[in-house]
Amino acid sequence: MLRRMIFPLLIGLLGGGVLISLGVWQMQRLAWKEAILADIEARIVAASVPLPAAPDPEVDRYLPVTLEGRFTGEQIDVLVSRKQIGPGLRIVEAFETLDGRRVLVDRGFVRQDDREAPRESGAALVEGNLHWPDETDGFTPPPDAATGLWFARDVAAMAEALDTEPTFIVARRPTGGDIEPMPVDTSGIPNDHLNYAITWFSLAAVWLGMTAYLLWRIRQRTV
């Protein structure tokens, strides 16, 4: 009887060990990801500094900045949808600083029905976070020539369209009018490691349970 049980037992222990190790690995990844998110959140809410002369997409991502100048009125409307609100637009507008730089400012959200409503431009003090959103892929459609709508924030393409440098600031305070700021946060950064860990541990429990059942059946047949 023991000889018949050795192979299923080894397979059961090996498979269970692999599944448990994958669960432990995901828990380690969870701790790593939570540390990264905590660091990002701390950077987002830190004290603002003047806009760097040459922002770096890696070093300066999420850096809080302030800049003074004027909104030029040149803008791009990006189609978005918000929970419990519905479809609307992100307003991305060209901003000219006091020293003559032209940058992009994501002013925030307006409802789709308010797209044609007049908006304040002109002199403003902007406080926000440097950001380089990664929202485009091979399935993202190009801007709609008929409506002028964009379907993702593409910093390089927007900078070319509005003749600005590829510097993108997401406002975290109102910039005038009825535009509601949509500040940078960590909600869009995926962190599914806990779910993955639960899945692996659950599979390990099922695997070991089935192994125990198989061993019981072998024992019953040999009694």
The span from the CA of 131 to the CA of 65, in Å, is 11
Q: Give per-residue pLDDT as tens, 45-83.
A: 899 999 999 999 989 999 999 999 999 999 999 999 888
pLDDT at 132: 94
Q: Give per-residue pLDDT as tens, 1-25.
A: 567 778 888 888 899 999 999 999 9
Could you tell me the pTM of the whole model? 0.79
Q: Give per-residue pLDDT as tens, 80-98.
A: 988 877 889 999 999 999 9
The span from the CA of 114 to the CA of 101, in Å, is 30
Mean pLDDT for 182-201 is 90
Mention every residue, 6+ apart, whose C-beta is less than 8 A from residue 143. Answer: 76, 149, 150, 151
Determine contact, residues 51/105, Cβ cutoff 8 Å: no
Separate counts of helices (H) and strands (E) for the chain? 3, 7
Neighbours of 10 (CB within 10 A): 11
Determine contact, residues 113/96, Cβ cutoff 8 Å: no
